[in-house]
Amino acid sequence: MKKTIFITTIILMFLNISVISFSQTSDGVNVPVYISVPSYAAIDSVDKESLEYDFDLSSPDNKSEEVKVKIVANTSFKLYVEFDAEESSFNEQNQALFELLNSSFNYSVDSNDSAYGVIEKTVQIGFNFQQAVDNDPEIRELLLKIGEYKGKVGNFIFTVSPAV
């Protein structure tokens, strides 16, 4: 009987050791992994090379042109438009025209936010000559004295940057 109790005790101890060792081998560790994807937004193309405006003081026209801008982006972005008048092409006599162009430039961008990838934005750009001339009669007189001006007056600058 003592022999049976001894063997049973040894078997129970062996089973306990086996269960304890198997339970200890199933531990796991989680290691976090991070990835960083740089954001970008770039203008792929603009569908116009130049725009020509006719400004006649006898019947000022608020002309606006539609320009398609194709943008490649993997993030949300903002599209900015500026008018850069070429100051070097204006002399003292037509400085009023330079000031009129800078003060009357306006633009609007369509408000459709598309999914990431290639996005086409429609931009309306132009000059609100009528309002600028109506608000400042002196500019009207100066422009009438200058007479006709033919030549490049500036550039539209399109810029994209990731939205913050």
Residue 144: its pLDDT value, please? 80
Residue 21 domain-assigned (yes or no): no
Residue 16 domain-assigned (yes or no): no
Residue 104 domain-assigned (yes or no): yes
Name the domain count of the chain. 1
Mean pLDDT by groups of 10 residues along the chain of 164 residues: 76 66 65 87 90 75 84 88 82 76 87 72 88 82 79 88 78
Residue 15 domain-assigned (yes or no): no
Residue 22 domain-assigned (yes or no): no
Residue 69 domain-assigned (yes or no): yes
Residue 123 domain-assigned (yes or no): yes
List Cα–Cα distances, 60 to 127, 130, 131, 132, 159, in angstroms. 10, 6, 9, 10, 29
Full domain range(s) for residue 135: 41-160
Full-model pTM: 0.68
Residue 26 domain-assigned (yes or no): no
